[in-house]
Every structure is written in C-alpha cells, then in structure tokens.
Copies of this chain bind each other. A is one copy, B any other.
Amino acid sequence: MAGTDSSKQPTLAPTPAIILCEPQLGENIGTAARAMANFGLWDLRLVRPRDGWPNEKAINAASRADHVIERVRVFETLEEAIADLTLVYATTARSRDMQKTVLGPEEAATNLAAQIGSGRPAGLLFGRERWGLLNEEVALADAIVTLPVEPAFASLNIAQAVLLLSYEYRRHSEAGAALPFSDALAEVAPREELVGLFGHLESTLDQSGFFTAPDKRPTVVNNLRTMLERGKFTSQEIRTLRGVISSIDRRHQRPNPNRQKPGSNTD
C-alpha cells in the first residue's frame, strides 16, 4: 500500500508488549495489530479473547500485519501475560479511585523507552471495548496512562489508543527520529543568478511602463526583490521564471494577423 517499502523487512527490535484484556471483537484485535505495525511494535498478547484464537476477523482487519499476527500469544490470565515484564502501564480513559500514579502518553513513552533501551521488557495494558480494564487489572500495573482527550468528547477505541501510544513510543525511542522520507530540496541558487532574474524582470518592467512614478521606483524594486528572494529559488526555478518573463514579454511583439490595424476598415 502507499508508503510501504516492500524491500525492507520489519526488524523485530525490542518494543513494548501490547496486552489486550478480554478483547471482544476480532476486528479490533486486527486493527490494533495493524496500528502497532506502523510504528514498529510487534509483541501482541491476548488475555481470554472472547472469540478465541486464531480469529478470522482479526486476521482480515490486520491488513497484512502478518508478522504481528503470527506472533500473537494467548493467555488464560493477565498475570501470565505480563509475567516477564518489569514495567507495566494500564491505559484507561476514566479515573480510578486508586493510589496509582497517572501519566500522560509522553511520560509513559519516555519511561518505556528507557526501560526497553536498557534491556528490560515492558508493556501496555488495554481493556475491553466497553468497560476498559477492571480495577484488579489496573492494580497489577505500575501506573495508569491516560490520553489527553477533550473531556466533552472522549471516545477513543482500543485500536486508536494502541495507535497513539505506539506512535509516542516510537517518537521517544531511537527509531522515532527518522521520517520515512525527507525533502530532497535542491540548493538555493547562488545570489548572482537571483540578481540576474531581478535585472531581467526590472528591465522588462521598465520597458512595459510598470514604474509609473519614477521617484517610487527604488521602493517598488526593493519590495519585488524581497518577495522574490523569499522563494529561495533553485537555479532551475530561476531559469523557469526567466522563461516566464520572456514568454509574456514577447507576446505583445508577435504580429497578430487577426488584430485590427487602426483605420484598417478604410484600406
């Protein structure tokens, strides 16, 4: 699909585990897998998925995030699912009456990146479609993570929460700095070429009578130069603009067989 570089295999570097507790809809498991894959996460764990595993709807919704789907592990209990982890965060949209630190996604991602960067596994818990996580599940976590949503309209679903936290994790880990492509902006032309453009334009405008008030000419010229300089034109672009000026300028000089000569109807 647009943007995928098929020549590159996904590298399975250590990343946070994503643990879904009793996910109800296969489709949501699949979209979570796909969301993870976009940001290099691959370790998906399911605790008592309602419709079991494997799950056809999940596989379809994962849209070729095969490397994630193939590695899904299923557990009977949350304790087993997080047994190897040394840092666990519980993602939830509503506040809990618990003595548990609440973190935003950035702080959570920073901590996860630090933990994993030093070789210690970590993970994020996500709850059921309607009910989120149970308090007993939150109790197993080091802290709560919540997303800074608009209080009047908070409706992130599981896959969206997974997407945002995967994005934040990547942003905070080493891979995160790089964009998949950058601008291949050509060099700005040497100043003398820009000055050449100015000269061409200004002499053309002198001939076309653009500068109606001679005493204002310097100011107008400076304004024109200022606005053109902001374009940071490359050499190619300057050539193009000079072609534009020449083309428009020559137009009026071309004999036009259809143009009425003054008084020609008396010829």
Cross-interface CB contact of A148 among B148, B153, B170, B233, cutoff 8 Å: B170
A216 within 8 A of B: no
Q: Does A52 contact B (CB under 8 A)?
A: no
Query: Which residues of the other chain, B, contact A153 by a CB distance below 8 angstroms?
Result: 4, 10, 37-38, 40, 64-65, 67
Oligomer: number of copies: 2
Q: Is the CB of B8 within 8 A of A151?
A: yes
Q: Which residues of A contact B (CB under 8 A)?
A: 1-6, 8-11, 34-35, 37-40, 63-65, 67, 93-95, 97, 99-102, 104, 106, 130-132, 144, 146-156, 160, 163-164, 167, 170-171, 175-186, 201, 204-205, 207-210, 220, 223-224, 227-228, 230-234, 237, 240-241, 243-245, 247-255, 257, 259-262
Provide 26 A-B residue pairs closer than 8 Å at the C-beta atoms, listed in order of the A residue.
Answer: A1-B155, A2-B130, A2-B131, A4-B155, A8-B152, A9-B152, A10-B152, A65-B153, A95-B180, A95-B181, A95-B184, A99-B234, A100-B183, A102-B179, A104-B179, A146-B181, A148-B177, A148-B179, A149-B180, A151-B180, A163-B163, A208-B251, A209-B252, A210-B247, A224-B240, A228-B231
